[in-house]
Chain A
Amino acid sequence: MKIAIRHELAVPVPQGATRVQMHLLAHPVAFAGQHIRHWAVEGPDIATAAAFPDAYGNDARLVTLRRPESPVSLLLEGLVETSDKHGVVGRIGREPVPALFRRITPLTRSPVTVYGKFRSTPRDGRDRIGLLHQVMERINEFHVFAPDGVVPSIEGTTESVRPAPTQTQTQTLGTMTQSQSLGEPADRRTPATARDFAHAFIGACRALDIPARYVSGYLLGGDAPGHAWAEAWDDGLGWIGFDAALLLCPTERHVRLAIGLDAMSAALVRTSPTIGEVETTSLSVAEA
């Protein structure tokens, strides 16, 4: 499938700054299920940026913005050809050892209530894929997918459920667990974004000693500005994608952009100094 992507972003920068450093993970890496036919990133000072692989194997750029006007506009535009590999990404060159992705970060702490029931589940050889699917289902017992933090309510109207920014995934899950143990019905699942689902899945995998990593990317037909999922390691197949938000393994509609330990290390844009959030001003993901 050929997918055309056009993604415009607005990056706030301090007024009057002489230099702002911008770290970009905006160049997708090819693998068997994804060929990059064309890819370009446009923005001020990008032509002279430094290019280098980051610790996770991403194609990173360091852009030095000289006396930038805020916000800085970025445009990612490309054509990617994908094929359905049932989520199997395999092994990609220059990536770090899978074991690295057992490291638990503040964003990927999982409560024992999520992974605890799998502690003695067989996880080697053929059993691993089955377990990973169970973990994905388990996350869905706690959360309901809300792209961009917005879920349709039962009455059919749309209700914003953006959680307070300080509320962490762990707390959300912790609260949920309490209500579950009180025998509340399953429709009390808390809304979660694709990013939250990915973190919950990764956290549970790592707690079970299975390497898992964060993937940022795009979804054809998705509503949110950008999508995210996870990949877990299997000794035989290599990395396998798990999209816990959609409860499936990534298909040809998924376009993989960057990977990391969590959303922070896989962030598309990071700047120093930082002021405010990077915003998507327009995004189009279309079949070409």
Chain B
Amino acid sequence: MTQPTPFDEMHNADGSIREPYRELDRWLREQPPQALNLMATDAEGIFRRLGITFAVYGSNEGTEKLIPFDVIPRIISAAEWRRLARGIEQRVRALNAFLHDIYHRQEILKAGRVPEKLILQNAAFCPEMMGIDPARAVYAHIIGVDIVRTGPDDFYVLEDNLRTPSGVSYMLEDREAMLQLAPDLFQRHKVAPVETYTENLMRTLESVAPEGAGASPTIVVLTPGIYNSAYFEHSFLADQMGAQLCEGQDLFVEDGFVYMRTTSGPERVDVIYRRIDDDYIDPLTFKPDSMLGVPGLFDAYRAGTVTLVNAPGTGIADDKAVYTYVPEIIEFYLGEKPLLSNVPTYNCTNDDERAYVLANIGDLVVKEVHGSGGYGMLVGPTSTRAQREEFRNRIIARPDNYIVQPTLALSTCPTYVNRGIAPRHVDLRPYVLVGDQIRITPGGLTRVALKKGSLVVNSSQGGGTKDTWVLEE
């Protein structure tokens, strides 16, 4: 199968420049030959100073790596963003309504719109959450929706990421770096700010504090610790919000209230932005051998004395098998047609679809239902024969463990590479905050596959990032 020509976000088919990129194009033409190279070198220095690193699982060469940054920003027009933002808002409203329903009356299952077995027998479904009424009925407060583009008006949601999405610190640092590297470029554009994110995060967290928490609730960020790949981000966000960064051992529960140990004695905690997975947050209720969590935390949550952000059990709504039902979910709760499309997905438990998948695996993308971070997936067109064979066998052995999608021709953006500027594939992860209102930071994190032709943008698989600009009118 020949892949269609990917959509180039900067150039029209006839080589002319698309509207949002006109000024950038002019600016690029004005730059002396070595300018971008210098910027790239400066960028590396800036990131080293900022200390942005990430850990790669399964890599022996030191635990910390610098995430590559591309100096050419990605630009989205105001009109394009309006459409995207409306679609994202619709999706997160529907998914929060779905979570409330699934953990209460389960009307959507009774109506047969989503198969009951898919939810009730799912490992990501958390029965302990039944009947809890979280503040403002919000379960997923912090969301990073993965979106890909295949044409001028064609956006697809790849994943909803309702658990503990990471990467927002890269979005903020990319902007900070870009402001230092090319201040003149900002003077020539009206770029919507992203710096408001941490302030909005704080407002969101305050707005979901439990009743009786008072006007300025105590908020902490709970991290699994320095060996977590996103530890940098946990400390960064805590620092930006002026909140305490805690590990499990820094918190304790007494008589159903959560306290933080401080030098001046225990302090009541009202809201916990936790970056520890559900299974590990409380050894009394979940994994008994977890050393990362806080014993009794979940009971305190049930007793309503503390808010957990995001709520446990949100994973049921971004489960890859549930993903295919999101259009149904939107229609069921909102009575609206979805504004953003899902990527067409093959269900391997269906005989016809599995047969198609096995015959055409070289053109498809195979993902593990519970995988993330680009691990445990197959990208057909760039795979080896042995890899294809292995995934064929895996699908035959456990068809319910995989979802399969066509290889999308991800859009490309101009990217600075060794030999100059060349198109590279990108995706987009806008960050959404849900509390007293829904706040979407304009833009998000653009991940770019730096290898020519590669479609895998994950930082753990050799991807980089770009500053993402939404133009204001």
Chain A partners chain B: yes
Interface residues in chain A, defined as those with a beta carbon under 8 Å from any beta carbon in chain B: 19, 21, 23, 45, 48-57, 60, 62, 64, 94, 96-97, 99-100, 102-104, 261, 265, 270-274
Alpha-carbon distance A146/B462, docked complex (angstroms): 61
**Across the interface, which residues of B come within 8 angstroms of A265, CB to CB?**
127
B100-157, CB < 8 A from A = 104-106, 109-110, 116, 120-121, 125, 127-132
Can you name the residue of chain A whose Cβ is closest to the Cβ of B284?
A272
B343-368, CB < 8 A from A = none
A151 shortest CB reach to chain B, Å = 31
Alpha-carbon distance A14/B291, docked complex (angstroms): 16
**A64, B130: Cβ atoms closer than 8 Å:** no
Alpha-carbon distance A49/B303, docked complex (angstroms): 11
**A96, B300: Cβ atoms closer than 8 Å:** no
**Across the interface, which residues of B come within 8 angstroms of A270, CB to CB?**
284
**Across the interface, which residues of A come within 8 angstroms of B51, CB to CB?**
none
A119 shortest CB reach to chain B, Å = 16
**Across the interface, which residues of A come within 8 angstroms of B257, CB to CB?**
50
Alpha-carbon distance A56/B285, docked complex (angstroms): 14
Alpha-carbon distance A238/B354, docked complex (angstroms): 41
Q: Digit string of B24-54 for contact with A (CB within 8 Å is 1, else 0)?
A: 0000000000000000000000000000000
Q: Does B439 contact A (CB under 8 A)?
A: no
**A99, B130: Cβ atoms closer than 8 Å:** no
**Across the interface, which residues of B come within 8 angstroms of A103, CB to CB?**
120-121, 125, 127
Q: Does B255 contact A (CB under 8 A)?
A: yes
**A62, B303: Cβ atoms closer than 8 Å:** yes
**B304, A52: Cβ atoms closer than 8 Å:** yes
A60 shortest CB reach to chain B, Å = 7
**Across the interface, which residues of A come within 8 angstroms of B282, CB to CB?**
272
Alpha-carbon distance A25/B292, docked complex (angstroms): 25
Contacts A52-B304, A64-B254 given: A102-B120 contact, CB under 8 Å?
yes
Alpha-carbon distance A23/B303, docked complex (angstroms): 12
Can you name the residue of chain B whose Cβ is closest to the Cβ of A211?
B120
Most chain A CB within a 10 A radius of its CB, from B105, B129, B295:
B295
B286 shortest CB reach to chain A, Å = 10
Most chain B CB within a 10 A radius of its CB, from A19, A21, A48, A49:
A21
Q: Digit string of B247-285 for contact with A (CB within 8 Å is 1, else 0)?
A: 000001111110000000000000000000000001111
Can you name the residue of chain A whose Cβ is closest to the Cβ of B117?
A102
Can you name the residue of chain B whose Cβ is closest to the Cβ of A47?
B255
**Across the interface, which residues of B come within 8 angstroms of A53, CB to CB?**
131, 302
**A19, B252: Cβ atoms closer than 8 Å:** yes
Task: Show 18 A/B contacts (Cβ-Cβ < 8 Å), sorted by A.
Answer: A19-B254, A21-B284, A23-B284, A50-B255, A52-B303, A53-B131, A55-B127, A55-B128, A62-B299, A62-B300, A64-B255, A64-B256, A64-B296, A96-B131, A97-B105, A103-B121, A103-B125, A103-B127
**Across the interface, which residues of A come within 8 angstroms of B253, CB to CB?**
21, 62, 64
**Across the interface, which residues of B come within 8 angstroms of A97, CB to CB?**
104-106
Size of the B side of the interface (Cβ < 8 Å), in residues, is 34
Alpha-carbon distance A67/B116, docked complex (angstroms): 45
Most chain B CB within a 10 A radius of its CB, from A23, A62, A261, A265:
A62
Q: Does B371 contact A (CB under 8 A)?
A: no
Can you name the residue of chain B whose Cβ is closest to the Cβ of A265?
B127
**Across the interface, which residues of A come within 8 angstroms of B129, CB to CB?**
55
Q: Does B305 contact A (CB under 8 A)?
A: yes
**A50, B284: Cβ atoms closer than 8 Å:** no
**Across the interface, which residues of B come within 8 angstroms of A64, CB to CB?**
253-256, 296
**A272, B121: Cβ atoms closer than 8 Å:** no
B134 shortest CB reach to chain A, Å = 14
**Across the interface, which residues of B come within 8 angstroms of A57, CB to CB?**
131
**Across the interface, which residues of A come within 8 angstroms of B284, CB to CB?**
21, 23, 270-272
**A273, B256: Cβ atoms closer than 8 Å:** no
**A62, B130: Cβ atoms closer than 8 Å:** no
**B252, A55: Cβ atoms closer than 8 Å:** no
**Across the interface, which residues of A come within 8 angstroms of B132, CB to CB?**
55
Q: Does B288 contact A (CB under 8 A)?
A: yes
Beyond A21-B296, A21-B299, A270-B284, 8 additional contacts (C-beta under 8 Å) are A21-B295, A48-B255, A52-B304, A60-B299, A64-B255, A64-B256, A96-B131, A272-B288
Can you name the residue of chain B whose Cβ is closest to the Cβ of A95?
B131
**A96, B130: Cβ atoms closer than 8 Å:** yes
**A100, B127: Cβ atoms closer than 8 Å:** yes
**B255, A62: Cβ atoms closer than 8 Å:** yes
A272 shortest CB reach to chain B, Å = 4
Alpha-carbon distance A97/B129, docked complex (angstroms): 12
**B255, A23: Cβ atoms closer than 8 Å:** no
B120 shortest CB reach to chain A, Å = 5
**B131, A52: Cβ atoms closer than 8 Å:** no
Can you name the residue of chain A whose Cβ is closest to the Cβ of B116?
A99
Can you name the residue of chain B whose Cβ is closest to the Cβ of A49?
B255
B10-24, CB < 8 A from A = none
Alpha-carbon distance A100/B106, docked complex (angstroms): 9
**Across the interface, which residues of B come within 8 angstroms of A23, CB to CB?**
284-285, 296, 299
A174 shortest CB reach to chain B, Å = 21
Can you name the residue of chain B whose Cβ is closest to the Cβ of A271?
B284
Question: Which 9 pairs across A and B sit closest by C-beta, in order of nearness?
Answer: A50-B256, A21-B296, A272-B284, A272-B295, A62-B299, A55-B130, A52-B303, A96-B130, A21-B295
**A272, B255: Cβ atoms closer than 8 Å:** no
Can you name the residue of chain A whose Cβ is closest to the Cβ of B285?
A23
**B116, A62: Cβ atoms closer than 8 Å:** no
